[in-house]
Amino acid sequence: MKIRSLLNYWEETASGALHPEYYSVRLGVEDAAKLAALVEMFPRRTAEQLIGDLLSAALKELEAAMPYVESNQIVSEDELGDPIYADQGPTPRFMALSQKYLNQFKPQ
């Protein structure tokens, strides 16, 4: 979900699986003021819910912004027969590590 979509999302009721671990963060004064403004604007959402939504959106945007770095390894061909090269940038490692932890965090 893009950060722009959060405003509409917060207007709706949302639910999802939550990880049992809590994370504690200290916010800068400006960020705390903006968070307080969002809590007032969207009273059906707690500060924790808003932080979680913002973090989720930021992580998705971060993942999308990771650069593709072409390797020498051909992994496929496109519809025109041109080679598609494996990505040797940070994305494959990030995806593999994310999947590793997702498998650990999901209830068995």
- For residues 64-69, average pLDDT: 90
Average pLDDT over residues 34-59: 93
pTM over cut 0.75: no
Q: What is the SS3 assignment for the chain? A: CCHHHHHHHHHCCCCCCCCCCCCCCCCCHHHHHHHHHHHHHCCCCCHHHHHHHHHHHHHHHHHHHCCCCEEEEEEEECCCCCEEEEECCHHHHHHHHHHHHHHHHCCC
What integer pLDDT is reported at residue 105 of this predicted model? 87
- Mean pLDDT for the chain overall: 87
68-84 per-position pLDDT tens digit: 888 999 999 999 999 99
